[in-house]
Amino acid sequence: MEKNRNTIILIAIFAVILWGVISVVNTVRKTTGDLVAPVNVLNTQAAGIFNTTPTVFPDPVTIVNEVQSLARLETIQYSLEKVVTAETGSEELRFLFGDKLLFVAHGEVIAGIDLAKLNEEDLTLRSGTLYVSLPEVEIFTATLNNEKSYVYDRETGLLSKGNLDLETLARQAAEEAILAAALEDGILEQAEVNAADFLESFFHSLGYPEVVLEFSDEN
């Protein structure tokens, strides 16, 4: 009987101790939560203040790499047609030894800027404005379209076998004539205008709202 009573007392004491421990733990948890909550709020507010979206401007070296990746910027293409006359032999003996042909030439002239010539020192940023010193516009190619170019007519003298190089000479003269016509028509000036329009938009896309382009005046 005495033994059972002691057992009951021990169980009661253990229950009281267990209840006390649980109460202390719950109190500590609540207190810790009340203390941590303001800290979390402060952390969130601090993150909102210090983690704003930054404004980033590419450095000049990055710009040069971007621009050079464009390599030759072709800004205009002319398609032209020229009729060229090529002949050999003196006028007096042409009916005997002469050789004459009419060559219809179709050609293309392409102009633009070689951006591989752009260097880091060609770009300057002052007061938020990007200044770019660009190389001169130039003719990239002036070539004939062989599929569309042809010999329209050819006359050879009675004793002439024809000059094997005459058509080649006519083609060379046609290329020169097509290039001269494009230059006379202002292809380089238009190439510069087109290049300025393109590059201004290009640098704006890199994050520069104000851009001043300066072309070389070697032309």
Instruction: Among 54, 75, 91, identify where a domain stops.
Output: 54
Look up residue 26 and give its two tokens.
Answer: 């719950």
- Both 99 and 7 in one domain: the answer is no
Q: Which of 7-16, 63-72, 176-185 has the highest mean pLDDT?
A: 176-185
> Which amino acid is it at 205?
S
- Reply yes or no on whether the pLDDT at 95 is more than 60: no
- Both 179 and 110 in one domain: the answer is yes
- Both 50 and 78 in one domain: the answer is no
pLDDT of residue 216: 81
What is the per-residue pLDDT across 19-68, written as a single tens digit (0 to 9) for each? Answer: 443 454 455 444 444 544 444 444 444 444 444 445 555 566 565 666 56
Domain that holds residue 4: 1-54
Q: Among 50-54, 162-166, 203-207, where is mean pLDDT lowest?
A: 50-54
- Both 206 and 121 in one domain: the answer is yes
Total structural domains in the chain?
A: 2
Instruction: For residue 162, name the pLDDT band (cuts at 50, 70, 90).
Output: low
pLDDT of residue 184: 93
User: What's the whole-number average pLDDT of the chain?
Assistant: 73
**Between vectors from CA 154 to CA 150 and to CA 155, what angle results, nearest 5°?**
175
pLDDT of residue 20: 44
Q: What percent of the chain has pLDDT over 70?
A: 59
- Both 84 and 13 in one domain: the answer is no
Q: Is residue 152 within 8 Å of residue 174, measured between CB atoms?
A: no
- Reply yes or no on whether the pLDDT at 123 is more than 80: yes
Residue 6 burial by Cβ neighbours in a 10 Å radius (0-12, 13-18, 19+)? exposed
- Both 3 and 94 in one domain: the answer is no
Tokens 């200044």 belong to residue? 131
Instruction: Among 54, 81, 97, identify where a domain stops.
Output: 54
